[in-house]
Amino acid sequence: MQNEPQGLDGPAEAGSPEADVIVVGAGMSGLVAARDLRRRGVDVIVLESADRVGGRVMGVTTALGSHLDLGGQWIGAGHHRVTALAAELGLTKYDMYTEGMPDIIDRGRRRPLVSPATLPIIPALLTVDILARTGRTDRWNDTTLDRWLQKVPGRLARRFLEVLALVSWTADLDRFSVNAMTRLVREQGGMSTILATKNGAQEALLVEGIWTLAERLAAELGSRVHTDSRVTAIERDATGATVRTVDGSYRARRVIVAVPPPVAARIHHDPPLPAQRATLERDTHMGTVYKAVAVYEQPFWRDRARGELLVLDQPGRVITDSTAPGGPGHLCMLASGPEARNLADLEPDERRRVLLDPLVPHLGKPIADPVEWHEKAWHQDEHVEGGYVVVPDPGTTAGIMPHPHEPAGILHWAGAETAAEHPGYVEGAIHAGERAAGEVAAALEQSNSFS
């Protein structure tokens, strides 16, 4: 089938590159879909808006030779597709370093997660879990999380839940409904899975960084991946589609859009999209998240205290010790919502100071002076527009995961949020890529047998 595109006589400009399938977006989902199709002998081109592949996975190799993730990083329990892909591509998985539950830092004071002052948190967490597992929460579709949290007794418990919600779902709490939250908790396996390291969502990492998966998939696809190629329009007709980018056009029999709906909303469609997909693109937004990783010669803090913290003081943030075995110390920080936006507005030195100086009394003086500092405000990335995931607007249900992915004729959908299993995670991105590739391969085979 390779290099023999059929039925490509639609209205593209003469000389337009042609392929059986065009994949829009070189995140994990689009790359997996493209590789899967290639392996089935299908001719495929991937069009990526940014000058790099990976989308919400991205990383850095430090001067000390370690690799760190600035985007997605953890492999959760049961994420067997990421584990299998990592093994196939020769990458090494390691368990996240943990000594149990994180401590809390509140008003500069460190205290255990479970203490008399934090007791009101437990019924609130249980309520969320019970609602997620059993409740019908549709009636709370207009109630935002910030309004709901106002009813939780006690300042400390309220602030704890606020920061936990921010760093768990990266949604502004006044733009996130209680219904969306509980449905997300259900999809993600309950609060205990979301919060846990061992047997939870933060179980393991890759020594080479999860971003290396994207790099290796792209390397396998070679010149079929076109970066700096933002898709602006998809025009469908009787024989396929013309896919327009900022500086050219392509012709294909089928198209897979592996871009999250609020980001894909910038692509013009002719004919217009079916109502369900148009609503999904209109009624959702990307979360807001800032991530930083401080690098040290050694994880020296382990001699004194664990590096797993939930900081309730502004900016609320979660801190984890993502150091690989034997590697230099990696201290990872995640902040979200308005507090992340304020942080991103600061000058770089000030930002680093605001994040690290308050940790000195708890982790030791050297914490303020890392060997390297890497950071990324994902909501400022013009191609990805935010993370971790797509958030439904309050009062709507269209963006509750998993997203629908019924093809619109020759147009198919991939992306982490469409996955039936582990939506919103790298695992979901792989699952959705494989599903979309299977769907397209079957459709191509069917049309071949009729031609």
Ligand X SMILES: Cc1cc2nc3c(=O)[nH]c(=O)nc-3n(C[C@H](O)[C@H](O)[C@H](O)COP(=O)(O)OP(=O)(O)OC[C@H]3O[C@@H](n4cnc5c(N)ncnc54)[C@H](O)[C@@H]3O)c2cc1C
Residue 26 contacts ligand X per CB under 6 A? yes
Q: How far is the CB of 449 from ligand X (least distance, A)?
A: 31
412 phi/psi in degrees, rounded to 5: -120, 160
Cβ-proximal residue to ligand X, closest one: 27
Binders of ligand X among 245-274, rule CB under 6 A? 258-260, 263, 266-267
**In this structure, what token pair is assigned to residue 438?**
């299977």
29 labelled binding-site residue = yes
Residue 74 contacts ligand X per CB under 6 A? yes
Q: Residue 262 half-sphere exposure, CB side, CA atoms within 13 Å?
A: 20
Q: Strand, helix or coil at 228?
A: coil
Residue type, 68: L
Taking the C-alpha atoms of residue 237 and residue 241, their distance in angstroms, rounded to an integer, is: 6
Please list, in sequence order, all residues whose beta carbon lies within 8 angstroms of the beta carbon of residue 135, skipping any fewer than 6 positions away: 182
| Total Cβ atoms within 10 A of residue 384 | 23
Residue 231 contacts ligand X per CB under 6 A? yes
Of 422, 206, 426, 427, whose CA–CA distance to 322 is shortest?
Answer: 206
**Which whole-number Å values give the CA distances from 184 to 59, 132, 353, in the listed order?**
27, 8, 34
Q: How far is the CB of 25 from ligand X (least distance, A)?
A: 3
417 labelled binding-site residue = yes
Binders of ligand X among 392-411, rule CB under 6 A? none
What are the beta bridge partners of residue 376?
A: 291
Rama region for 444: left / alpha / beta (φ>0; ψ in -120 to 50; rest)? alpha
451 labelled binding-site residue = no
Q: How far is the CB of 115 from ligand X (least distance, A)?
A: 28
Q: Which stretch binds ligand X (CB under 6 A): 66-74, 158-166, 174-182, 318-326?
A: 66-74
Q: How far is the CB of 348 from ligand X (least distance, A)?
A: 18
DSSP string, 36-47: HHHHTT--EEEE
The residue within the footprint of ligand X, chosen from 10, 55, 209, 307 (CB under 6 A), is 55
| Contact string 408-437 vs ligand X (x = CB under 6 A) | -------xx-------xxxx-x--------
How many residues contact ligand X, by CB under 6 A? Answer: 40
DSSP string, 403-416: PP---BTTEEE-SG
The residue within the footprint of ligand X, chosen from 8, 12, 49, 295 (CB under 6 A), is 49
Q: How far is the CB of 364 from ligand X (least distance, A)?
A: 26
Q: How far is the CB of 273 from ligand X (least distance, A)?
A: 14
Q: Where are the beta strands (DSSP E) in 393-448?
A: 411-413
Nearer to ligand X, 30 or 209 (CB): 30
Binders of ligand X among 306-365, rule CB under 6 A? none
The residue within the footprint of ligand X, chosen from 370, 387, 392, 399 (CB under 6 A), is 387
Residues that bind ligand X (CB under 6 A): 24-30, 47-50, 55-57, 71-74, 230-231, 258-260, 263, 266-267, 289, 291, 378, 383-384, 387-388, 415-416, 424-427, 429
Binding-site residue numbers are 29, 231, 417
